[in-house]
Chains A and B, each alone.
Chain A
Amino acid sequence: MKYAFYPGCVSKGGAPELYTSTMAIADKLGIELEEIVGASCTGAGVLQEKGLKLGDTLNARTFAMAERMGLTTILNICSTCQGVMAQANYRLLNDPEYLSEINKELEPEGLEYTGRVVIKHLAWVIVEEIGIDKLKSMVTNPLPALKVAPFYGCYILRPSWALGFNENPGREHYLEQIIEACGAEPVNFPGRTKCCGFPIMLINEKNSMQMVANHTTSAHEHGADAMVTPCPLCHLNLDGQQPKAASQMKEKISMPILHLPQMVGLAMGYSSKELGLSQHIVSTKSVLEKASIRT
């Protein structure tokens, strides 16, 4: 299956291990990723603070570029990209006048969005297009000793009207399904659908660090060995800022945070190097040890 691949800004910047691990497992997953070269940032909700038209135009341009490639499913690896693009697509598809106004801005580049694009996060592609059973058959290194707490990231869950939950209600629990398919045990904890604090990291660091501390410690208290997240922005905060959160709360926190393709890659037998597991701020050594245990 071929997809128009939208890696987003952070997997090419502060979280390159996400890009590495995605590309590593794509082949075995049976997906061909053709990157949308020249696509802009989605706006990430920040550009949308100045009004919706700018972000909607930039995203319509990306959708038109995918159509021009002959591919109508955009695969992304970031909850924030998923949410922002899905919202933009919803507005464009439900207001033909608005769509034609925005297409005028794309004319000088010879682009036009005709409304055929569907946006899916890798997690959705795994469950809906590859299938959990097929994933299970690719797992050569099950992870029975690993208890993993899923941290979804706000934009892949809310607002639900943009994310197709009516047609696909299972989307609220895909991470648990994927964790189980990898042979690991999903851990339920209060923070699973909450905010990681990344959007206010540079604006109200104290609150942001409190959120990181709350979610990593509550995952730990509920028995998790690691957390997995489909959002690199959540990863930047939960992993990258974990030392700062620990120091603010004056407590010790050591919760490894995995990107989704890294967890899937471990279960498929890929090495730490292939999955970029040494590029985290919080050591993933304990995860690697548990990943090699067979019970």
Chain B
Amino acid sequence: MQAKVKVQRYDPEKSAEITFQDYEVEVPNHFTVLDTLVKIREEVDPSLALRCSCRAAICGSCAMRVDDQARLACNTRLASVVEDGGEVKIEPMGNQNVVKDLVVDLKLFWDKVRDIEPYLQPDVVPEEEFIASNESMLNLLTPMGCIMCGACVSDCTALEVDKSFIGPAALAKTYRFVADPRDDKTDHRLGKMNSAGGVWDCTRCYMCVEVCPKGVAPMDRIMQMRDSLMESGVTNTSGARHVKSFEHSVSNSGWLDETMLAVDSWGKFNLPKLVGNLPLAFRVLRRGKFPLPAPFHHKVPGNKNIKRIFERISNAKH
């Protein structure tokens, strides 16, 4: 098959400019994006810089953006992203500084991971081996599958606007230890995740789930940690209040009371926040679309069935 491969070029030793270079290639149909880039480097342009190693989706070195989505280049068939004769765009991973061409400085990634204390911390180290049952380790199978490729960090929409967010890779790694029966620092770890830049800053956009080549699903792990925090009674964050308010209005009326959700999440007595949002309230009122809060928020017919489901499933959980 033939394709035009547009690759982002950047060489700080030559120029501060970022450009795109087009390479017209003809490659076998089974070629991966990595095969194609290596062929370009070996036969056309030896100056093209990229990272790669195992070519088998296990070392995590070759993550890059292919048509705006982070992927492992070795795990992506060229034919799956471009038709014969078509065009594909290759860029370095996002959210991190570019060193040269497709190579990024992974400092942000590694700093975030190191910050969460990514090592087992048992209170008592056994004399011989640590015995953990198969069942107790099942939860860890997918988070442990992380190959540290950085694809999730590249495409995280929260990190794009806020580099202080801990990020999906470090959060998934935290879950890996929180869920490990041999680790005794759960409260400490969850406590750290409960603060600014932690679990509550995730936008729930599913980007990390979509781009992870190993099924780690970092967002799902983040949600599991939110649940653990709420179950252990840690509810003094706007995030936890948000969930509680949502549960309360849907369980009582069948659907969401948007106004109370806002008030509860900010905090009923958080005067500065409430007053600060009066302009928004007026704008919405003037347009005739202020959602009426309880007690004017009507209940859907048959809502007692919804309440029963809430009660039964909450009870079963406890």
Structural contact, A12 and B255, CB atoms closer than 8 A: yes
Structural contact, A203 and B242, CB atoms closer than 8 A: yes
Closest to A12 in B: B255
A210 proximity list for chain B (CB < 8 A) = 161-162
Q: Given A158-B206, A210-B161, A280-B287, are A202 and B262 also a contact pair (CB < 8 Å)?
A: yes
- Complex alpha-carbon distance, A197 and B312, angstroms: 33
Structural contact, B201 and A200, CB atoms closer than 8 A: yes
How many residues of chain B are within 8 Å of chain A by beta carbon?
Answer: 58
Structural contact, B201 and A203, CB atoms closer than 8 A: yes
Q: Given A61-B309, A159-B206, A194-B205, are A49 and B227 also a contact pair (CB < 8 Å)?
A: yes
Structural contact, A40 and B300, CB atoms closer than 8 A: yes
Q: Given A154-B205, A202-B266, are A16 and B250 also a contact pair (CB < 8 Å)?
A: no
Structural contact, A47 and B207, CB atoms closer than 8 A: no
Within 8 A of B (CB), among A208-263: 210-211, 214, 240-241, 243-244
* Selected interface stretch from A50-58, A120-128, A177-185, A267-275: A50-58
Structural contact, B204 and A45, CB atoms closer than 8 A: yes
Q: Given A39-B300, A46-B243, A49-B227, are A195 and B157 also a contact pair (CB < 8 Å)?
A: yes
Structural contact, A57 and B313, CB atoms closer than 8 A: yes
A158 proximity list for chain B (CB < 8 A) = 205-207, 209-210
Q: Determine if B306 is an interface residue (Cβ-Cβ < 8 Å).
A: yes
A100 proximity list for chain B (CB < 8 A) = none
B124 proximity list for chain A (CB < 8 A) = none
- Complex alpha-carbon distance, A12 and B300, angstroms: 12
Structural contact, B203 and A195, CB atoms closer than 8 A: yes
- Provide the A169-213 mask, 1 if CB < 8 A to any CB of B, else 0: 000000000000000000000100111010110111011001100
A243 proximity list for chain B (CB < 8 A) = 279, 283
Structural contact, B289 and A17, CB atoms closer than 8 A: yes
A30 proximity list for chain B (CB < 8 A) = none
- Complex alpha-carbon distance, A38 and B299, angstroms: 9
B287 proximity list for chain A (CB < 8 A) = 278-281
Q: Shortest CB–CB separation between residue B280 and chain A, in angstroms?
A: 7
A203 proximity list for chain B (CB < 8 A) = 200-201, 237-239, 242, 265
Closest to B299 in A: A38
Query: CB within 8 Å of B: which residues of A?
Result: 9-10, 12-17, 37-41, 43-51, 53-54, 57-58, 61, 105, 108-109, 154-155, 158-160, 190, 193-195, 197, 199-200, 202-204, 206-207, 210-211, 214, 240-241, 243-244, 278-281
